[in-house]
Amino acid sequence: MPKIALWTQIPPAIRDHLSARMRDRHVGLDDLNRLRLWIESKPDVPEGRWFKDFGSFKLCGEGSLPKTFLLRGQPATGKQL
């Protein structure tokens, strides 16, 4: 099972998209800190689509790469972590 990629391992186009979604969806510092702690724990993620619900937002990814942020209440696809 792959590990989630660190920020520096994510391709620039995906990093730009994630940054834009963080701003658009008003992901706050407390939320980003919870996300940072989760990523620093080097969690395993499935090969296919997945999502992690942080309460105020969801992080969606595929394999080792996070792909987008969703707002609370927006439906996500893939395996819930």
Q: What is the pTM of this model?
A: 0.86
User: Which residue, 10, 18, 15, 8, is CA-closest to 57?
Assistant: 18
Q: What residue spans define the domains of the chain?
A: 7-80
Using CB atoms within 10 A of its CB, is residue 70 exposed (0-12), middle (13-18) or buried (19+)? middle
The tens digit of pLDDT for each residue in 47-75 reads 999 999 998 899 999 999 999 999 988 99
pLDDT in tens, 19-32: 998 888 888 889 98
Q: What is the pLDDT of residue 25?
A: 86
